Amino acid sequence: MATLPSAVSVVEVGPRDGLQNESALISTADKIAFVDRLTNAGLRAIEVSAFVSPKWIPQLKDAADVFAGITRRPGTRYSALVPNLIGLERALGAGVTDVAIFTAASETFNQRNTRRSIEESFATYRDVVREALSAGLRVRGYLSTAFGCPFEGPVSTEQVVALTERLLSLGVFEVAVSDTIGVAHPGQVRALLPRLLATIPSTRIALHFHDTRGTALANVLAALDFGMATFDASAGGLGGCPYAPRASGNLATEDLLYMLRGLNIETDVAIDAVSDAALALAPQLGHPLPSRYTQAR
């Protein structure tokens, strides 16, 4: 049996990735309370919102107000997604210290999701990352559809490796290699990770799994065997899957924490406090929380 990492970092994406994909509109005050509860649960990295056009994502139009309202704990990083320089300027105006950029591993998905090609995305992000770094920000990258595309199907390993390297060369500290539609399975994880880790240190790769087909935790377990130690998750499993209505999306944070605790892997996060944070929002979502751990409570 491989030696598992002794500690894992959990990046909480519920307030941004989760709520962005919920049809219910959550009030600014409730979002602030949600982020504060996640902070108090011990999460050290929380993606709070996105500075994108309110026309595209009305759920996150109050990004600046949410950042103004949350209580920031020293040692915890609070990030925002930015699609372009306008978004970066808004983030800077809101006192944001950590931003994230995103591109897809498949051309069709990038076009449909952002109305620009992968090349155009990189042209934009060259400037965004340069400006962000010169302002002293830390920048994370997302590579979506890394395990499959809803329009193109399979995505080549070569493309995933090349785009991850390219994002890192822009100056991002870490790339979240993401299974946007929840098709990844441990066989794919075992095939992709050796290719990524041939040229990239494991400390610069995070994994973002969705549980749409019930494989998210199995994927994490497969990745732990390769020494991977940063995983994205969403409290309560918030977010759903935009490409499979009524299916679950993001891996639930408390489900991940439960498995890690069972493996004696340290996270310093209180599971039930994360579950409570999601439960506080549940009455407004119009559907039960997907998290198995929270359902079992």
Give whichever of 17 and 98 is closer to Mg ion, judged by the CB atom: 17
Angle in degrees, CA 176, 181, 25, rounded to 5? 90
Least CB distance to Mg ion at residue 74 (A)? 27
CB atoms near residue 190 (< 10 Å): 14
- Catalytic residue status for 149: no
The identity of residue 79, as a single letter, is: S
Give whichever of 39 and 253 is closer to Mg ion, judged by the CB atom: 253
Give whichever of 51 and 92 is closer to Mg ion, judged by the CB atom: 51
Question: Which residues sit opposite 208 in a β-bridge?
Answer: 178, 232
Least CB distance to Mg ion at residue 131 (A)? 26
Give whichever of 212 and 250 is closer to Mg ion, judged by the CB atom: 250
Least CB distance to Mg ion at residue 155 (A)? 16
Q: Of 146, 241, 269, 281, which is the active-site residue?
A: 241
- CA-to-CA dists, residue 141 to 36, 38, 168, 218, angstroms: 24, 22, 8, 24
Give whichever of 17 and 254 is closer to Mg ion, judged by the CB atom: 17
Least CB distance to Mg ion at residue 2 (A)? 27
Contacts with Mg ion, residue ranges (CB under 5 A): 17, 250
- CA-to-CA dists, residue 176 to 11, 276, 288, 295, angstroms: 10, 26, 27, 28
Least CB distance to Mg ion at residue 22 (A)? 12
Beta strands 9-12 and 230-233 are parallel
- When computed from its CA atoms, the radius of gyration of the chain, rounded to whole angstroms, is 17
- CA-to-CA dists, residue 216 to 188, 225, 233, 265, angstroms: 12, 15, 10, 17
Going 203 to 177 to 209 to 270, the CA torsion angle's sign is positive
Are 147 and 123 spatial neighbours (Cβ–Cβ below 8 Å)? no
3-state SS class at 46: strand
Least CB distance to Mg ion at residue 62 (A)? 20
Give whichever of 92 and 189 is closer to Mg ion, judged by the CB atom: 189
Question: How far apart, in whole angstroms, are the C-alpha atoms of residue 205 and residue 220?
Answer: 13
List the catalytic residues.
241
